Amino acid sequence: MKKKAENNGIVSRGFVFGADGGGTKTIGLLANMDGLVLSRIQVGGSNQNVVGPREAAARLADVILQCSRQAGVDPGMIRAAVLGLAGAGGTQERKNLVVAIQSLLAAEDVLPLPIVVQSDSYIALEGAFGGGPGVAVVAGTGSTVIGKNPEGTLLQRGGWGRVLGDEGSGYAIGLQALRLLTQELDGLGEASRLRDALGATFGLTTRERLIEAVYREELDIPSIAPLVLKSAAEADAGALTILTKASRELARQVVATIRLLGFRGTTGVAFIGGLIDQETIYARMLRQAIVSQWPHAVIQPPLHSPAHGAVSMALSQAREREKELRSQ
């Protein structure tokens, strides 16, 4: 496994690793100490709540090894590794995950690496603003809002998970669509374009079929969200009502984060996640809802990906360790 630490003839004094791990995929990047990305590998999801701790550890160890092989470097020369994970868990869960990863790497003759587990929202924020201040809104399967002011203070709002929160997320939007469908099937609402779309796409045309899909087949509720966005774009009243509520709830979290962090003037806000990172009707509604409450907000695309944010954090940690060693 161990190879000479070089890439294209350029010998490096070390490397850093960053990963962005979600429920369906994990992206790993290996970079040199100048921040130049040398390899990129994608494997399956590493959210412990979705795939379990054992599988999450296996996939994270695998992506570290694959990135090292692709770059042709010894993984033992990784000076810092930051894993930004959905479902990162509490302090003990993170420690357990690192121990499991180290054990799997040791089986490949890799000495213990300096691994730090962070939340996926944190690395998304770091990537979006290049380590600078701003507020990131993450809306995909779940949702959260995280910000950092010029003094470096971090603050997160939302992100409580589908049971307690995740307002404005794909899950919340899909669930509201199903609740609207139950009202229409009960004759308490008018037939809508969204109802037709749910029937055509998922076969949800009767009470019995809806109950079976949700409770017995574990219907992928977030996958309904794109239908809501499409129906809203076609002026369906029910879909528009769902997105209006969702955008207002997320905007409220954004503005609360901005105010609590003490921003006064122009504030950068980045949209991240499959529901809002493109120019969808939902992204437009969310932008309007934020600006109506905080006119100084400037919605901007992320500077870098979450995985690049993890690499940036790993570089900072590696450089700090270098300083500490030199001072000893």
The domain at 132-167+242-300 falls in which architecture?
2-Layer Sandwich (3.30)
Tokens of 324: 């500490």
pLDDT of residue 5: 38
Q: In 254-264, which positions are buried (b, 16+ CB within 10 angstroms) versus exposed (e)?
A: bbbbbeebebe
Polymer length in residues for the chain: 328
Greatest CA separation for the chain: 75
The model's pLDDT over 203-218, given as tens digits with 9 standing for 90+, comes to 999 999 999 999 999 8
Q: Which whole-number Å values give the CA distances from 89 to 94, 155, 225, in the listed order?
A: 6, 17, 26
CB atoms within 10 A of CB 66: 18
Which 8-state DSSP code applies to residue 132? Answer: S
Cα–Cα distance, 290 to 302 (Å, whole number): 17
pLDDT of residue 12: 46
Cα–Cα distance, 165 to 36 (Å, whole number): 38
**Residue at token pair 């009243």:** 237
Which one is the CATH code of 6-125+306-327: 3.90.79.10, 3.30.420.40, 3.40.50.1950, 1.10.3370.10?
A: 3.30.420.40
Cα–Cα distance, 319 to 70 (Å, whole number): 24
Tokens of 245: 């509520």
Is 6-125+306-327's fold the same as 132-167+242-300's?
yes
The residue extents of the domains of the chain are 6-125+306-327, 132-167+242-300, 174-225
148 and 258 in contact (C-beta within 8 Å)? no
Residue 128 backbone dihedrals phi, psi, to 5 degrees: -65, -35
Q: Residue 209, class by beta-carbon neighbours within 10 Å (0-12 exposed, 13-18 middle, 19+ buried)?
A: middle
pLDDT of residue 1: 40
The segments of the chain whose pLDDT lies below 50 read: 1-12
pLDDT of residue 4: 38
